[in-house]
Amino acid sequence: AQSVSQHNHHVILSEAASLELGCNYSYGGTVNLFWYVQYPGQHLQLLLKYFSGDPLVKGIKGFEAEFIKSKFSFNLRKPSVQWSDTAEYFCAVNAGNYGGSQGNLIFGKGTKLSVKP
């Protein structure tokens, strides 16, 4: 079965530190990849997505992610975090109709990011 692994459950950083959140997936075919963010008390919202083309994807609020097909990875990065980036981050994969999933998203377990001011 497909799966998505997020390596860190909780990351604590000081403001201005650099961020990298790991995401690996298990499906070997064509995938669409997503990072969603859930700020405290707010909706889950899309941060960025990769469908095809340039493997370095830029999203909102200065976030970017790099798709490395050989490593089955889609890590999220930000050069300098702010207190307002405190949130929970979810990686998700859509593997088309693999296994009859009809294009459903498979989510990782999430990474909580706490940024200290």
- Asked if 83 touches other proteins (CB under 8 A), the answer is no
- Please, how many CA atoms are within 13 Å of residue 59, restricted to the half-sphere of its CB? 21
- Asked if 27 touches other proteins (CB under 8 A), the answer is no
**Looking at beta carbons only, is 16 or 46 nearer to other proteins?**
46
Among 49, 62, 66, 77, binds other proteins (CB under 8 A): 49
Q: CA 4 to CA 25: how far, in whole Å?
A: 4
- Asked if 102 touches other proteins (CB under 8 A), the answer is yes
Closest CA to 55 of 68, 72, 73, 36: 68
- The Cβ of residue 33 has, within 10 Å, a number of other Cβ atoms equal to 22
Whole-number minimum distance, CB 102 to other proteins, in Å?
A: 6
Is the separation of the CB atoms in 14 and 104 below 8 Å?
no
Q: CA 94 to CA 24: how far, in whole Å?
A: 13
Whole-number minimum distance, CB 117 to other proteins, in Å?
A: 24
Contact set with other proteins (CB under 8 A): 4, 6, 9, 32, 34, 36, 42-46, 49, 51, 90, 92, 94, 102-105, 107-110
